[in-house]
Amino acid sequence: MIHILFTGGTISMQRDAAVGGNVPAHGGEALVGLAPGLDRIAPYRIEDWARMPACHFDHDRLWTLRERVRVVAESGEAGGIVITHGTDILEETAYLLDRTLEPRVPVALTGAMRTSSDDGWDGPRNLRDAVAVAADPASAGRGTMVVFAGQVLAGRTATKSHATDVVAFSAPHAAPIGRVSDGGVSYAATGTAPAAPIRPESLRARVAHIPMVVGDDGALLDLARPAHDGVVVEAFGSGNVPPGAVAAIGRWLDEGKPVVLASRCWWGRVTPVYAFDGGGARTTAMGAIPAGPRTPSQARMELAIALSAGVPYGSA
C-alpha cells in the first residue's frame, strides 16, 4: 500500500482569470483522477493533508508534516509514502525528512512546474513516477527522495535549480541516484547510504540566512543576531566575506551562536584556504563552520535540525 499525502503546490493548481493567476484547486481525489494508471502501479490510499502553496509553510507546519510522515511510516500500514508538494521549498522539506526519519520506508516527494491549465502539465507524469519509486522494492532503505522529471535525487542533496523549467531539480553536490523511464525505476550501481537520522523533538531553533554583498559591513548580521540561534552566512567563492563583516561574525561567535559558512557558488564547497582579512581561513579559525556538501538552504536546515536536537552541525 502506498500512502499518497497531498499538501498542495503547483501540481494542485489551475489558472483563475478572475484573480489573475494560478491558485490551489485540486484535492487528492481530483489529482489521482487526472493521473490515470496509478492503480496499475500499486494499491494506494489518499490523504488530503493540505492544499496550500509551499511558500506558506513555516517551521511549525514543516514539523507537523514531518510528524505525520513519521506516524504513517511507523504504522506498518504503508510500504511507501508519496508527498505532493509545492516546489518553492520542496528542498527544505526533503532535507528535513531525510535527516530526521528512519530510511526504511521510502518517501518520494514530487510536484509540478506547470498547472493543469497549462500545455505540457507535468503533474501526472511526476505523480506516477513518484508512486513507482515508492512502490519499487529496491527503494526500501533509501529514505527520502525527490522524484522529478524522470530523475530520482536523494532528499539531502536535491535543490531547486531552475525557477520555471520542468527539469527544475538537481543535486549540485552529488548526482541523481536513479531514474524513472516508462514506469520502470533504475538505481545507480553505487550510491551513498542515508546518514543516521538526527532526532530533534521539534524544529524550534531559528536560523538566519544572510547573503554577503559587495562592501558588506555586517549590519544585517547584527540586526538578525538577537532573534536567531545561529546563522548561515552565504559567502563569496570558497568562503570569503568582505572585511567589514568579520567583526559582526565575531559577535555571533562571542555569544555562542554558531556561524556556518556556505558558498553562493552553485558547484563546489567552502574551502578555507585564504588567510587575508575576510578570507575563509581567518573566519574558520575564529570558529565559523564550513557548510560541507550543502547549498545555503540545505546548510540552514542542517543547522536548524542540529540546534533543535542539541548536536553539532553536520553530525551523523
pLDDT tens-place string over residues 278-295: 999 999 999 999 999 999
Which pairing describes strands 80-84 and 44-48: parallel, antiparallel, or unpaired? unpaired
Among this protein's residues, is 10 annotated catalytic? yes
Vertex 30: Cα angle to 29 and 34 (nearest 5): 115
Q: What 3 state SS string does 217-250 have?
A: CCHHHHHHHHHCCEEEEEEECCCECCHHHHHHHH
Instruction: Give the architecture (CATH level 2) of 207-309.
Output: 3-Layer(aba) Sandwich (3.40)
What cell was used for 53? 502553496
Query: pTM of the prediction?
Result: 0.95
Q: What CATH homologous superfamily does 2-187 map to? A: L-asparaginase, N-terminal domain (3.40.50.1170)
Give the pLDDT confidence of 133-185 residue by residue, as tens digits.
999 999 999 999 999 999 999 999 999 999 999 999 999 999 999 999 999 99
At residue 193 the predicted structure's pLDDT band, cuts being 50, 70 and 90, is confident
Give the pLDDT confidence of 15-38 residue by residue, as tens digits.
877 888 887 778 888 888 888 899
**How distant, in Å, are the alpha carbons of 45, 47, 95, 109 from that of 53?**
22, 17, 18, 15
| Residue 203 near residue 308 (C-beta atoms within 8 A) | yes
| Domain spans of the chain, in order of start | 2-187, 207-309
- Residue 190 CB contacts under 8 Å (≥ 6 apart), including other chains: none
Determine the pLDDT at residue 316: 67
**pLDDT at residue 85 tops 70:** yes
Which pairing describes strands 230-235 and 259-263: parallel, antiparallel, or unpaired? parallel
Looking at 10, 84, 159, 283, which residue is catalytic? 10
How far is Cα 64 from Cα 115, in angstroms, rounded to an integer? 26
